[in-house]
Structure 1
Amino acid sequence: MSALRRVTGMGIAGSLALALLTGGCVLAATAGPREAQATGLLGVQQMMNGLPQVEKTIVVATNYVSVNSALQGVSQQVSLTPANLDDVTAQLHRDFGAGPLPLAPQTADWTAMTSGPRGVISSLPALQGIPAQVEVTYPYPVTDHIRLVAGSMPDTSPASGIQVVVTAQTASAWGLRPGSRVAVIAPLQTTISGNGPPSPSFKLNLDVTGIVEPTDPDSSFWKADPLLAAPNLYVSQSKLWEGAFIADPGEIATMQEIFGLAGLSIRWEFPVATAGLRAQAPALYSEMKQFTLQTPQLTGLLAPMSNALSTSSALLGPLATLVAVSNGVNVLLWMVYVGLAVAGVVMMLLAARMVAARRSAEMAVRRARGASLAHLFWRGSFGAAVAGVPAAALAWTLAVLLVPGPGPTGWVAWWPGIATLAVAVLGPGVAAAWQHRLPRRRRSVGRERARWRRRWATRVIFEVTACAAAIGGIIVLRRQGGGGDLYTSAAPLLVAVPAVIVVLRLYQPLLRGLARASARRRGVIGFLGLTRAAQATATLALPAITLVLTLTMAAFTIMVRDAVVRGEIAASWQETGADVALTYSPGFGAGPAAVRAFAAVPGVQHAATAVELPLDLTGGERVTAIAVDPASYAALVASTEGYSPVSPALLTQVPGQAAVPVLASPAAAAILGRQGSVPIAAQQGLPALRVRVSGELQSTPALPGGGTFLVLPLSAIGGVGAPVNVMLLTGPSIDVSRLHAVQATMPGADDLTITTRSQVLQELTGAPLQHGTFLIFTLAIVCALALALAVMLLELALSTADRELTMAKLATMGLDERQRVRLSVLEAFPAIAASAVAAVACAIALPRLVAPAINLSAFTQSQTSVPLRPDFASFLLPLAGLLVVTVIALAYEIRSRRGRVAATLRA
């Protein structure tokens, strides 16, 4: 213990307190960026896992004509070999896999040459006279993707055509088997194996030698061309069968000779290894965009065909969406990072003052013995480093253990922790050197007044400059529409700067006025407490700034978190329209028995049915007619959130009027007009109607996606017997499993879709970016409140010596223990009250100043704006807690020094 005191000058308790404070600030500064990195990586992985395999590829495409022109010119035909394809595949795989996007092993890459569709001229009875067309595909390599189930793989190429295999689905639909021959229309310039001039016949035989099935039906090999796995019956004004055959692996030359100049497309597919992703969405998107904008470069004999290649990928769209979402989240995270880092740095400045105050006597003795300011600086910094550096290293290790995985790179990852540690280590040395610098010579009264004026002017200039910088940062943030740098990302703290300056300017005059007013009253507690609080402006500035910063950060983070929660709840209502939405496929609906069964499910409080039909108006416009029971529908809408209320009276037909009252969306009301009635011709099995607009609805839960709609009473179409195709249920605890059980017993269960709001909300809240960001928000709130508590304790510790001497004097003058506690509390209360006033002002101003630059649609996945609202409980409750802690700490301090009054006075 004595050795530790000689090194640090603070003993075990002081060293441990400084280590805990330094470690906590460094942990908050390092764990936040790591959690954001892990959250972004998890978002990329979840996005990749949700995509089909066919979209997780890089595609390089070209055509035979372009390759032929690039290699040897249009007058001489060339032929690609399997070795050529392997060479191109290897070069492209090497180039594409060199960046942050990992590729699957090269054995997963494949190439395909595909002809254009050729008309089938053979008579296939299974097609029942429906015309057909087929494309011939040469995939390479093919053995890992197919499994032979009947017949044999082709071995030799016939002189009159191409040997092929087909899938079991194609064979079943077209009536094919091993040995079948399908004749198709051949290209005009067809040669077979280079034997002679173009064939005079326009018929090409495709000999089926085997039936195969996919080894992995979900792989990109089979999904890139859906016709390869199964034929498709295209139905429009007429019917047409579309299919694909797989050519013999040895017929690459024949494919080029027959189809080369007739539209033979060539493509290379490179699957992505999603399990090895370790990059963020912006890096992946930048690399993918670079791939698509640049032409792949080849070397060797095939180098001339580079300009004929084009690169594309279905990953570009999802990555662009994820980058946009990540950018919206990063704006908020940057604000949290910068706020915590600045608050931590200011906190360590306050701790440096405390360390310098505790070592003041030691440094004074060293200074009296001839020590230089550099020596005092070294002693103070070395003592802080002994306590702070191990704590910082432990905090960094703890951050790595709590948030495993690759951390962020670059200065963004290191500067918050390094800055916090630097202030923790160097701050006590600077404070000690400044405190024990040589005193200035005594000056005359006039020179002292001039010096005071210069100090006053310097303070005014500093405060005006700080306010101007804060206002400028907020203006830049609003114009940019988001943060991204240290200056604009500190917007929540910039809002606090003018508030702190104003409070500090008004603090001392206001307390002096209160002290003068209390001097006229009996009792000494009020006067002494207010007078001492008014004289503590110098020691109040830094704690007040730190307390306001921490409370502002806590309030801002809680405001954003609450806004996200409200936005997600609103988005879930906007997507489903009710707690449970039951929708039928077109042409299907629920009968009265099914409606009663669903409404009787436990937990259902309100149920409403609707008949949705598209109607064509006289002018050619189309609207969605929603027929409802006015009473039950109005009750259900009243139990939802975010939808326009419905008055049943507006849907009640007035006796004597033939027009049916309807509630229309703004677009429908503009079409129909607000005056008179509008006829609607008979259609969709409905009779001719005459409607009049009795009111407007901005939205309706029966059509949550919005659109042009009319809500009319069900009685207007009651005699038609149209089936109920939409049913809405609300209730806080609907038994969803019972709903599915009822669905299973109903006819047409496969045509009924049940959507629950809880599931939609869970998908929003369970998204990786959402989950990780909320963890960071929680960390920021806890750290901010912990810093606020530490500020109060340090402020009390800074004034301990002065307060102890004052209380000892007051005790000798007759003040009892309870009066001394009241005096100490009254002395500390104005600082908390001033910080509360500044924090309240910041909380009121934050939504108005910062909200336009924050886009929360990244969380809600909706374009509906989510307003920020001040949450006064978010900082009033912590302030009340700080006041309680202050009272307990002061009472404990005074009682623990009971009986030491004489010793204090002698000291």
Structure 2
Amino acid sequence: MTTQADRPARHRPAPWIRTRLGAARTGALLTVLLALTTALLAAALPRALDRGADEALRDLLHRNGLGATSLIATATANGGPAQAAELDRIAGLLAGKVTDPYRPGPGGPVYGARAVRNRDLGNRELARPDGAAPKLDLMSLHDLAGHARLVDGRWPERATPADPDPGAGGPDGGEGGEIRVQVVLAKAAADTLGARTGTVLEAGLTRDRTALRAEVVGLYEPVDPDGPYWYAFPCAVRACLTQTDGKPPQLYWLTTAVGDTALSGELFAWGDSAPPEDFWRLPIDTGTLRADRLTEAERAVSSLLAGPQATGLATAAGHPELRITSQLPGLLRQSRDRQAAVAPLTVVGPAGVAGVAAVVLCLAAALAADRRTAELRLLRARGASLTGVLGRLLGEGAVTVLPAATAGTLLALWALPTPRWTAAVTAAALVAGTALLALPIRAAALLGRPRRKLPARRLVFELAVLAAAVAAVVAIRRRGVAPSGEGVDLLLVAAPLLCALAGAVLLGRLLPALTGALARRAARRPGAVGFIGLARAARGSDGRSGSPVLPTVALLLAVVTAGFGATVVDSVDGGRLRAARLAVGADAAVYADAPGTPLPEGFAEAAGRLPGVRLGTEVWTELDASVATSDSSLITGVAVVAVDPGAYARLAEQAGYGRPDADRLATTADPAAPLPALVSADLAARLDDRPQNLRLSTYGTVMLVMTGGIERTPALPGVTTRTVVVPRAALAPRLSGKVRPNRWLAVGDVDAARLRELLGAGAAATGAPAGTGGTATGGAGASAGAGTGAGTAALGPEAAGRGFQVRTAAPMAAELGHNPLQRSATRLFWAAVVAAAAFALLAVLLTLVRAAPERAALLARLRTMGLRPRQGLALLLTEALPQAVFAAAFGGLVAATAVPLLGPAVDLTVMVGAPVHTGLRSAGLPVLLQALGLAAVAAVAVLAEAAVSGRRQITTELRAGDNR
């Protein structure tokens, strides 16, 4: 009988996936790292965009203040004893209407009633800055005791009319009598006015001759004077210094008194029989608003302002005239338009990274499949089906790729918290699917039925890519970018990538010819190292194998993405500086607070010697001149600018105003000849070539003749009409030397603090303050002289006691870039540049690692023939660098070409923060820097790989021989 020990042993097949991954641990680890990194970046991109949009939305709302982000309801007060309860009921109705996607904010609602007009106070002991009587508003506020601290006296009680004389009328309609209302004042306001607890404020008489008096029964201090409760009542926190509308205006104090919540008839009397107004202010919690729900939020708010909800609320409140207003819909619309305008420029960089990452994933799969071709074909020869082989490869990928992609996605969700996760998970899933299917698809192509190579297929593919790139460029040039509000313009996003692919196609055709030409040239030179390396480079770039071309495509995509994005950033920075210069007039402008006040003597010379000043010039301006025309009409409100023609023309050109023709301001030696003048277009239409009378307010009258035109002048940045520019040297003698410069303009890297210090030094020399208006308040003359190269004696006594404005373009340009949406787009671009460069570098390294055994065998053979180690390194560099250098150079050329092709359709207004001309500015330096940087990175990678692995592999080959 056969025992179990005598039976042949049954061998169970080894588990395929575990055995295969254990045999290639390094490759599996690299696959995990690549999948994790790519999924992390793919999931992080939508999260970063969402966070940037939310931050920009909240910054916009915060900068506009609580008043703009609140719902404000008003209605005519019904009055009566139930007034307070009615206000409470309507406040609850209003808060109940504010629901998802927005909700009420902290500190609200704030509501009450107020008189529609303020009243003069007749108390002579109260403060009167210019002799004008102070004014007092009267209102009631809900929950005043919860937001203010009583520091003296008590809270007010319900007011009652005082008993009138027996024969006199009362407050209900007859003449005489008195209405006294108990109020509380802010302690700061009472201290300013000179009032105290117990003071009776005389508010005059009503139309029926009833005396109005407000008795101050207490003083309070706001708990949070800058909080939502007091935001709309600044004059209830402190006294406000205001001026009358008369001429000359007079200053007076205005404050608000708060009475009992049951005020009704008193408010009616305070408004001179005008019905008081009930009000409710409901702050909105801006922290809950989300950029992806702007349209929904705008629709909800608009319906509450003028829609079905508004009608229903007015009916439920019992106030048909209830009116709700808010600036919130306009702000939401503005934020939505900004996002739509920035979105295409924001996505261009990440789209380039996605292209480079896809190339790297395909390259990794191609190299892995090429390395395992013999193994897979052996399996097929032993009877394995194609489906079974591909299934096992898919299982290998599922074990390595899916956990890594999941970990990368979870890490992105944790590191960048935001309520939206669908787009992040979808992007990571696309990455995981690409990484998972790339190897089986490549293996299927290798193991499938062999087909004859048809060069026509490659040609058709290349022609299709070129046609798509040309069509994208033509479409963008013809129709421009998608209008604001339509989301991301996919054509603008795809156009740079299509141009890069077209460049890769052309480079793929040119690279073998270029490297072959270099190899033939090297063959005629002594030494074989250069020829061998270039010949191998030419053979490896012939396009017959897919993998040698993919690193070139990755590098070219990275260079085009970086170059095009760098051009956008450079154009945005330049646009902000130009916009700031147009607003200031130059890089720096100095002028007095009081119009027409001359600059200190010697200031222009001292300021011109400051470090960074390239060009400075003085001008004289007169804003209230008039011109008598030939038809005897008088044009008033003419602005006159007297300049030094040469310096003015150079400064205007450098400041972005265009170069005026200085020769047209040339004067003759005849002092009686009319002044040549450049005039604005509106004046040119009313003047002719004959001399005209120019009347300069109190300075006198001169004759001028129109010799040319101007659009605008840097001396008066905000003025575009009724402007005349004349030569200052010829104008001064005609006005008996009364023309003294009152403005100074400069271009260059001008430090505003040094200018203020220089102005303050002149005041310090005379012992007087330098004034206000943005200038320094003084400074030691010695220190100013040492710091600026000009002594304090350079400024005369005219600086004493006068304030001067100092404006520079640099801070204004920085303020234009304050928008978080702009900062987020810029940060995202630079992150895209780094990521694209990293993926391109990875593509180069993968190619080098794949070809390392073959290179090691070659070097081993050459070492036996006398090749020195240094020559071996030169051979490796000669073989690997041409591909990277040509890819970087050609990518830079494609990026530089894409800017004039696609740039005219790009609107940078939102990115700049001010209206600018549409189009990108061509700049070679940003593109050159990106191309050189990526070329240098590729060269360092090649050098490092050769230095680290070359010597070890060559030694192995020499010891073991070539066993392949």
Superposition map of 1:613-628 within 5 A: 613-614=622-623, 615-618=625-628, 619-620=634-635, 622-628=637-643
Shift of 1:218: 4.4
| Partners of 2:587 and 2:655 within 8 A in 1 | no
For the structure 1 residues 604 and 700, does the alpha-carbon distance in structure 2 shift closer, same or farther, using more than 3 Å as the test? farther
More displaced stretch, 265-274 vs 742-751:
742-751
Task: Find the aligned partners of 2:585 and 2:535 in 1 and give their Cα distance.
Answer: 62
Q: Which residue in 1 is equivalent to 2:573?
A: 565
Superposition map of 1:543-554 within 5 A: 543-554=551-562
For the structure 1 residues 576 and 247, does the alpha-carbon distance in structure 2 shift closer, same or farther, using more than 3 Å as the test? closer
Residue deviations 1:234-258 (CA, integer Å, cap 9, x gap): 3236989896764632434536876
Superposition map of 1:205-220 within 5 A: 205-210=212-217, 212=219, 215=222, 217-218=225-226
| Partners of 1:231 and 1:242 within 8 A in 2 | yes
| Partners of 2:112 and 2:279 within 8 A in 1 | yes
Q: Which residue in 2 is equivalent to 1:534?
A: 542
Residue deviations 1:139-162 (CA, integer Å, cap 9, x gap): 333334556677654323223336
Shift of 1:691: 1.8
Q: Which residue in 2 is equivalent to 1:494?
A: 498
Normalised TM-score (structure 1): 0.81
Which of the numbers 619, 626, 632 marks the counterpart of 1:610? Answer: 619
Matched, 1:419 2:423: no
Q: Which residue in 2 is equivalent to 1:875?
A: 931
Q: Secondary structure at the match of 1:898?
A: helix
Shift of 1:730: 5.1
Q: Which residue in 1 is equivalent to 2:279?
A: 267
Task: Find the aligned partners of 1:375 and 1:589 in 2 and give their Cα distance.
Answer: 92
Which amino acid counterpart does residue 244 of structure 2 have in structure 1?
Y
Q: Which residue in 1 is equivalent to 2:779?
A: none
Superposition map of 1:272-671 within 5 A: 272-273=284-285, 282=294, 288-289=301-302, 291-294=304-307, 296=309, 303=316, 305=318, 308-389=321-402, 391-393=404-406, 395-396=408-409, 399=412, 404=416, 406-407=417-418, 409-437=420-448, 439=449, 452=454, 455=457, 459=461, 463=465, 466-467=468-469, 470=472, 474=476, 478-481=480-483, 484=488, 486=490, 488-505=492-509, 525=532, 530-534=538-542, 536-587=544-595, 589-590=597-598, 592-593=600-601, 595=603, 599=607, 603=611, 605=613, 607-614=616-623, 615-618=625-628, 619-620=634-635, 622-629=637-644, 640-645=654-659, 651-656=665-670, 658-659=672-673, 661=675, 664=678, 666-667=680-681, 670-671=684-685
Matched, 1:842 2:894: yes
Q: Which residue in 1 is equivalent to 2:245?
A: 235
Task: Find the aligned partners of 1:634 and 1:476 in 2 and give their Cα distance.
Answer: 37
Q: Secondary structure at the match of 2:480?
A: helix
Shift of 1:687: 0.7
Shift of 1:111: 1.2
For the structure 1 residues 459 and 754, does the alpha-carbon distance in structure 2 shift closer, same or farther, using more than 3 Å as the test? closer
Q: Which residue in 2 is equivalent to 1:165?
A: 183
Task: Find the aligned partners of 1:594 and 1:828 in 2 and give their Cα distance.
Answer: 64
Matched, 1:16 2:29: yes
Task: Find the aligned partners of 1:844 and 1:593 in 2 and give their Cα distance.
Answer: 50
Task: Find the aligned partners of 2:203 and 2:535 in 1 and give their Cα distance.
Answer: 108
Superposition map of 1:674-753 within 5 A: 675-683=689-697, 685-708=698-721, 709-715=723-729, 716-717=731-732, 719=736, 721=738, 724-729=741-746, 732=749, 734=751, 736=753, 739-740=756-757, 742-743=759-760, 745=764, 749-750=771-772, 751-753=803-805
More displaced stretch, 592-601 vs 28-37:
592-601
Task: Find the aligned partners of 2:518 and 2:241 in 1 and give their Cα distance.
Answer: 90
Matched, 1:137 2:151: no
| Partners of 1:92 and 1:296 within 8 A in 2 | no
Which amino acid counterpart does residue 433 of structure 2 have in structure 1?
A
For the structure 1 residues 411 and 890, does the alpha-carbon distance in structure 2 shift closer, same or farther, using more than 3 Å as the test? same
For the structure 1 residues 692 and 82, does the alpha-carbon distance in structure 2 shift closer, same or farther, using more than 3 Å as the test? same
Which amino acid counterpart does residue 617 of structure 1 have in structure 2?
V
Q: Which residue in 2 is equivalent to 1:82?
A: 84
Which amino acid counterpart does residue 771 of structure 2 have in structure 1?
A
Task: Find the aligned partners of 1:38 and 1:118 in 2 and give their Cα distance.
Answer: 47
Shift of 1:725: 3.9
Task: Find the aligned partners of 2:810 and 2:472 in 1 and give their Cα distance.
Answer: 42
More displaced stretch, 805-814 vs 875-884:
805-814
Task: Find the aligned partners of 1:262 and 1:280 in 2 and give their Cα distance.
Answer: 46
More displaced stretch, 313-322 vs 859-868:
313-322
Superposition map of 1:780-791 within 5 A: 780-791=832-843
| Partners of 1:23 and 1:391 within 8 A in 2 | yes
Length, aligned pairs only:
866
Task: Find the aligned partners of 1:573 and 1:337 in 2 and give their Cα distance.
Answer: 32
Percent identity of equivalent pairs = 23
Matched, 1:254 2:261: no
Q: Which residue in 2 is equivalent to 1:109?
A: 109
Which of the numbers 797, 811, 823 marks the counterpart of 1:759? Answer: 811
Shift of 1:95: 3.3
Q: Secondary structure at the match of 2:396?
A: helix
Unaligned runs of 5+ in 1: 69-76, 187-200, 441-447
Shift of 1:269: 0.6
Q: Which residue in 2 is equivalent to 1:193?
A: none
Task: Find the aligned partners of 1:116 and 1:772 in 2 and give their Cα distance.
Answer: 46
Which amino acid counterpart does residue 725 of structure 2 have in structure 1?
V
| Partners of 2:559 and 2:892 within 8 A in 1 | no
For the structure 1 residues 357 and 604, does the alpha-carbon distance in structure 2 shift closer, same or farther, using more than 3 Å as the test? closer
Normalised TM-score (structure 2): 0.76
For the structure 1 residues 505 and 631, does the alpha-carbon distance in structure 2 shift closer, same or farther, using more than 3 Å as the test? closer
- Highest relative contact order (Cα 8 Å, sep 6+), 1 or 2? 1
Q: Which residue in 2 is equivalent to 1:71?
A: none
More displaced stretch, 867-876 vs 317-326:
317-326
Task: Find the aligned partners of 1:533 and 1:129 in 2 and give their Cα distance.
Answer: 91
Q: Secondary structure at the match of 1:863?
A: coil
More displaced stretch, 123-132 vs 245-254:
123-132
Q: Which residue in 2 is equivalent to 1:72?
A: none
Shift of 1:103: 0.7
Shift of 1:749: 0.6
Shift of 1:130: 7.2
Residue deviations 1:525-546 (CA, integer Å, cap 9, x gap): 4666534543635334433333
Task: Find the aligned partners of 1:79 and 1:896 in 2 and give their Cα distance.
Answer: 98
For the structure 1 residues 648 and 355, does the alpha-carbon distance in structure 2 shift closer, same or farther, using more than 3 Å as the test? same
Matched, 1:182 2:212: no
For the structure 1 residues 822 and 723, does the alpha-carbon distance in structure 2 shift closer, same or farther, using more than 3 Å as the test? closer
| Partners of 2:587 and 2:747 within 8 A in 1 | yes
Task: Find the aligned partners of 1:490 and 1:180 in 2 and give their Cα distance.
Answer: 73
Q: Secondary structure at the match of 2:113?
A: strand
Shift of 1:4: 9.6
Residue deviations 1:39-65 (CA, integer Å, cap 9, x gap): 33433444444344434422122334x
Q: Which residue in 2 is equivalent to 1:156?
A: 158
Task: Find the aligned partners of 2:38 and 2:183 in 1 and give their Cα distance.
Answer: 67
Q: Secondary structure at the match of 2:200?
A: coil
Q: Secondary structure at the match of 1:705?
A: coil
